[in-house]
Structure 1
């Protein structure tokens, strides 16, 4: 009993985070669904999915689960921005909550493939410059989310961040379907 009481404050009610996302006061940034492996093969070509790690059947199922979770939270449509990597684009497409716009600042910079500092600045500025409208969902990579938030998300895990974004954004909730 004492252990249960000690753990109770750690259990967060995400109601306010979801409300903020619905009302345009927050953004959901998530790591692509399951794509087994680490990094990309030496033959990696951004324009050829067959040369990249990509979602497996479980990853596609995970990505589709976002649609139901978002609908439960009152979000049936969103503005969706994705890394150009196939595993991110395919996660965003499988979510089926809106057209997917490729956004290079969300591209991976794992292993020196990009410029993490610049891309993080561009992500912050770009999100803050968005007009009001549907909720915003960003699909990206672990390194991008960790650099922005300090959170190390699992595959298919999302983080709801308070707007406006800053170099130290407020994490409202960690969520996953």
Structure 2
């Protein structure tokens, strides 16, 4: 499918309660017409009130972390409804090891969830950003252009470092695998009411 056609067919998700925005705001399609081959959905975790993590943060203890609230859990479920329509089949779902990302990924119900440390937050450890992003880019370069859809649940800092987009909670940037560490950005999806 030509790239221009793929782009036009990607994002008319208004009927699903989603606002699409990109350099091509005139796209018109439905989630059912999106080509799932090589599709990567790079998603910020759902609403988790606050910023950063508490001083006593421990990776394997959710009680020490910022977590999804009831609104965030509902937001993740709604995002999952949409992502399943887009993917059209079970997706490979990878998540940051933070509890708010893992819970978002599970609530999407889009496929089995695997932890991927390259998606972890470096918000309070900026010295780790360069090495972590290099690892994430190697992972992305290994995704086949004709492969099954991939969902990556991560943090704002990771989405921004990779794409330049500052996403709202549960917002996803749609990428297309191209055999490099810089997949093509094809659009964004944002649930109505996301902050």
- How do residues 45-56 of structure 1 correspond to structure 2 at under 5 angstroms? 45-56=58-69
- How do residues 123-134 of structure 1 correspond to structure 2 at under 5 angstroms? 123-130=136-143, 133-134=147-148
1:140 matched residue in structure 2: 154
- How do residues 1-177 of structure 1 correspond to structure 2 at under 5 angstroms? 11-13=25-27, 15=29, 19-20=34-35, 22-24=36-38, 26-112=39-125, 115-130=128-143, 133-164=147-178, 166=180, 168-177=182-191
Residue deviations 1:110-168 (CA, integer Å, cap 9, x gap): 02166111111111111222456421000000000100000000011000112226565
Task: Return closer, same or farther for 1:165/1:90 CA change in 2, 3 Å cut-off.
Answer: farther
Residue deviations 1:87-119 (CA, integer Å, cap 9, x gap): 000000000111100000000000216611111
Task: Return closer, same or farther for 1:114/1:80 CA change in 2, 3 Å cut-off.
Answer: farther
Secondary structure of the corresponding residue to residue 153 of structure 2: strand
Q: Which 5+ residue runs of structure 2 have no aligned equivalent?
A: 1-22
Give 4+ residue runs of structure 1 displaced > 4 Å after superposition: 14-18, 165-169
Secondary structure of the corresponding residue to residue 33 of structure 1: coil
RMSD: 2.4
Aligned residue pairs total 167
Range with greater deviation from structure 2 (102-111 or 120-129): 120-129
> What is the alpha-carbon distance in structure 1 between the residues aligned to residue 165 and residue 110 of structure 2?
25
Larger relative helix fraction: 1
> What is the alpha-carbon distance in structure 2 between the residues aligned to residue 88 and residue 31 of structure 1?
8
**What TM-score do you get using the length of structure 2 for normalisation?**
0.77
Range with greater deviation from structure 2 (71-80 or 147-156): 71-80
> What is the alpha-carbon distance in structure 2 between the residues aligned to residue 124 and residue 79 of structure 1?
17
Task: Return closer, same or farther for 1:103/1:87 CA change in 2, 3 Å cut-off.
Answer: same
Q: Which 5+ residue runs of structure 1 have no aligned equivalent?
A: 1-8
Task: Return closer, same or farther for 1:128/1:168 CA change in 2, 3 Å cut-off.
Answer: closer
